[in-house]
Amino acid sequence: MKTGFSSGRTVRAAIAITILSCALTLPAAAHDIGDWVLAPWRDSAQTFPGVVVGKNGASLTIQFDDGTRETRISSEVRVFDWVAGSSIECQWSDGRWYSATVRWLANDGQTMQIRYDDDGTVERTNTGKCRSPN
């Protein structure tokens, strides 16, 4: 059966070009007031959970779950994506950050249970005391 293509390599190349062109035309994630997001705070490489409370062009004002507020460029902000099994970092009572895994998130969107990776301690905490390691 003739396909119009001279080889399997040509078919694979055509498929790859089609997939790439589709990927390049996908719109960037839009963030609206009220959206729950992850965003960097100050010069941090990590992202912290918060809610978009203001929007001005490409700038978003984020009310972080720990109570702080900052304006960020929308390209620095991503949709909140923590679920059971997500790897995050949480602040222990000594003020230091430790790797942890989300066990569950409550319906209020902030209360959660985590398990610290280093010693297995399970703790109920809130999103304002945690961050994504990126």
Q: Has residue 6 been placed in a domain?
A: no
* Type of residue found at 46: Q
Domain, as residue range, for 116: 87-131
Q: Would the CA dihedral through 25, 134, 66, 61 be positive or negative?
A: negative
- The verdict on residue 11 lying in a domain is no
Assigned domain for 56 exists: yes
User: In 37-125, which ranges are continuous DSSP H helix?
Assistant: none
What is the pTM assigned to this prediction?
0.75
Whether residue 26 lies inside any domain: the answer is no
Question: Would 13 be classed as within a structural domain?
Answer: no
Q: Is residue 62 part of a domain?
A: yes
Q: Are 57 and 65 in contact (CB under 8 A)?
A: no
Number of structural domains the chain divides into: 2
Residue 111: give its domain's CATH number.
Answer: 2.30.30.140
Is there a single domain that holds both residue 40 and residue 74?
Answer: yes
Residue 99 shares a structural domain with residue 72: no
Helices and strands (H and E) in the chain: how many: 1, 10
Can you give the pLDDT at residue 101? 98
94 in a structural domain: yes
- 62 and 95 in a single domain? The answer is no
Partners of 124 in the β-ladder: 113
User: pLDDT tens digits, the chain, 134 residues: what are they?
Assistant: 334 444 444 333 333 334 334 433 334 456 899 999 999 999 899 999 999 999 999 999 999 999 999 999 999 999 999 999 999 999 999 999 999 999 999 999 899 999 999 999 999 999 999 999 97
Locate 64 and state its tokens: 């972080």
CA dihedral 118, 92, 85, 76 (to 10 degrees): -120
Q: How far apart are CA 46 and CA 90, in angstroms?
A: 12
Residues 97 and 126 grouped into a single domain: yes
Are residue 94 and residue 75 in the same domain, yes or no?
no
Q: What pLDDT score was predicted for residue 131?
A: 97
Those residues with Cβ within 8 angstroms of residue 80's Cβ, 6 or more apart along the chain or in another chain: 36, 37, 38, 49
Examine residue 63 and state whether it is found in any structural domain, yes or no.
yes
Please tell me the predicted confidence (pLDDT) of residue 59.
Answer: 95
